[in-house]
Structure 1
Amino acid sequence: MKEDLSQKLLSLKKTFITLNELENIVLANNYDELRAIVNEQIADEVIMAVGKKNTNGLIPPLHLKYRICNTAEDLSPYFDEIRHLHPDLKISEYLANPHLYKMHRHIVLPLSDMLKTRSETLRHKMSKNERAYSIWHDEKMLDDSKAKSVIAFLEIAERLNYYLTPEPFFDFVLRSQKEMTVLIIENKDTWFTFRKLLTKNPEKCCLHGTQLDAVLYGEGNKVTKPGGIQAYADNVLSANVQFLYFGDLDFTGIDLFSRVCKANPGANIKLFAELYQDMLDLTEWDQLGQIRKKQKTDINMNGFLSFFSADHMIMIQELLKANKYIPQEAINYPILATLLQVNEG
């Protein structure tokens, strides 16, 4: 933890420390991590670089020598302030480590004031940004790495009683009810085609025997954000949701489905296999194009393929082996209108 490192450095009986000595204390996994940790200690005024040109020659560079900034500073004026903190804010630890308090002070003081004068506000749940603004008048404070570190040190995160705002998605909800079926669509054109047809004919929302209650545009990798789909179901729809997924039939599309499921282990997500079967059955294979962009091919397809019959499984494997693909735009407006049994007049 960053505070542990700060205390260790400040407790050393020396004025200077070399980069090699820092490396032995930090035990970073790689150079980028080492550089980030050293720069954090500089920003917290625990150490200070010595010599403008005295660097290690790497890019970005680190200095080879640092001054430990604990030698002459009198921190006793902070003791009375520390004693008047709210009792839940580790007063004894700060009295033992006043330099640590000095680093935390701009975060701890407003928190202490809130706990002493407005603790009842914690009974009411707020979003993370709302809670941050109500305490520090800075809505981004709880996103700050230093603030996160201080909150963890104080072991008070749960008490702050805030929720993470769910990722907003483009969606079209036909009906809200306790049990819903939501179709996640990979591409914008296909999502808009679904939305246009369902808006035009809201009563025609049964596809391959499945009634759709909403269609959601996944926006590429956005839909793979950890917990995003589950949060959308819990906080936006407030329903028990069966999710169906429909994307491109290529390596990237298959991998997206796997990643969506992995990112939302608590969500009920299945493949809308019938639409993929439509793509396989309705396209002319000799007219299919080659996968143009370089795609990651060493993906686990077992979960994806498990939704298909043996014949369609073989077709998909042969398609990909030939480096061909079918975009979901193959299910175009007139095809989807027919599948939905929508009369265009």
Structure 2
Amino acid sequence: MAHKLTEQEQATVVRLAKFLGKELPVKFRGNAGGIASGLVRLRGQSIAEKDVRAVLERYDATKLPTDTLVELGVLLPAADGGFTLEIPEKRAIAKAERPRPPAKRDGRAISRLDTVRKQTPELTDIRLKIIELDPRLWINGWLLSTPDAYVRYERELRALDAALAGEPTLGDGSLSLRELSYQVFGDEKFLALESEGRKLLHLMGLSDVVNCRPQAKLELMHHIPKHHRHLRLIVSENLDPWVNMRNAMFLDGRKRLFGERVHGVVFGNGYIVDDPHKLPDLLATMDAEDVEVLYWGDIDRAGLQILSKLAEMAGDGLTVRPLIPAYRLMLKRAMRRFADPLENEETDQGGVPVRGLDLFEGELKEKELAYLRAVLDGARLIPQEILTARDL
């Protein structure tokens, strides 16, 4: 049985854990406390390499080379082929810190959070708030030992706690990843692969909690099941809304979407207008006398710019107008969530000119149009994923 650490040894563990938490490669820093504790428990003048490897294996750091600990000055080679344990002093820690090139990072980046073992009244208050959450969020200890994560992500953690209340998973599998992400967190990209939100779930031991609809492949770019001389199509900027509409028509036999009688749906894949021949070439294969396109995309400067450019392509049997019922419902949903339009997601589209707003004049109520203008003027975003299959 492992021996009980003395008070001096416990202090040594804390010092070593702080050092390793800063100096180890990023992917091993979460194990710094365990590695420090295991090394300090290896009493004796010389420590065998096999004992060091056993500690690393115990704390899921088998891919951490022993040489790294030597380079950091934690293990010093001994004459008998083993090692002696050295605890770097504060001045050594400062010396060991390597300069890092400047980089633009998210102010809430997970990689910038440090593990904190100390106890202060302020940290105790934060940890008391943490243990009020669903135990699955803190049972593995990471969130309790990284209280800054709660401070920076309190809104998202509370949203996650509410969504998990009485549920085995986050989501029931009916929503796409982006739809689920927006529904729970108000950000359709929070759960994206390699996102800070997905890293947060991983560190809390919740990598498998997300239950969403499998991502569709892109082979089928349109669903127009029957020939019509006078064709009415919905063109969707993003994939998930297109899949929802395609499923409604293909699986459920729907002929109306958002109250509009339509004959098919097309996936615009973002900037469909970047290639001026893309949509006309597709429509040419439909052998229709005339085509009416109802465009539906994100409410942001880029989304309306696509709509505006598409409208400029109209003529010769092609008319283009916004899918007003969908946009109106998006605005209604956003207004309910964020009374202040500037609370919607920020974008980097400040340099993108506002275009296409004239296509909504006379189609929206005055309050809806004012909200729309404020979102565009503030370079904000209301994503298509604010609506789901239930809204069609």
TM-score, normalised with respect to structure 2: 0.39
